[in-house]
C-alpha cells in the first residue's frame, strides 16, 4: 500500500523584465507586454582565453526587440536554412 501526502513546491516565476539598453520594463501580468516579452533576446556568454571581455568572465544582457533592431538591424539577414 502507498500512502501519499500533498507537498507544495515553490516555483521561481518572472514578474517583469527590463531591457538593459533602453531600460523599459515589461510586466508578465500585462496582456499588452506579453508579446513584447516573447520577443526579448537573452545574450549569455563567457569570455574565453585572451578575450576582450576578460578571461573566463560571465556576461549577460536582456534586450528588447526594438533595441536589437536599432543596434544590429542593418547587419541581420534572414536565414532560410536556420535550425532553431
Instruction: Using pLDDT thresholds of 50, 70 and 90, give the confidence band for residue 82.
Output: confident
State the pLDDT at residue 57. Answer: 94
Phi, psi of 29 (to 5 degrees): -90, 5
Q: How many Cα atoms within 13 Å fall on the side-chain side of residue 83?
A: 0
State the pLDDT at residue 44. Answer: 96
Q: Is the pLDDT of residue 24 over 80?
A: yes
Contacts of 25 (CB under 8 A, 6+ apart): 16, 17, 18, 19
What global pTM score does this model have? 0.77
What residue spans define the domains of the chain?
16-72
Where are the extended beta strands (E) located within 20-76? 25-27, 41-46, 58-63
- Per-residue pLDDT tens for 29-77? 888 898 999 999 999 999 999 999 999 999 999 999 999 999 999 999 9
Amino acid at each position: 500500500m502507498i500512502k501519499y501526502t500533498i507537498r507544495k513546491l515553490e516555483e521561481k516565476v518572472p514578474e517583469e523584465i527590463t531591457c538593459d539598453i533602453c531600460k523599459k520594463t515589461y510586466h508578465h501580468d500585462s496582456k499588452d507586454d506579453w508579446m513584447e516579452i516573447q520577443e526579448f533576446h537573452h545574450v549569455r556568454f563567457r569570455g574565453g582565453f585572451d578575450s576582450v571581455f576578460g578571461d573566463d568572465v560571465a556576461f549577460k544582457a536582456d534586450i528588447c526587440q526594438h533595441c536589437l533592431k536599432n543596434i544590429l538591424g542593418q547587419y541581420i539577414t534572414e536565414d532560410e536554412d536556420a535550425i532553431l
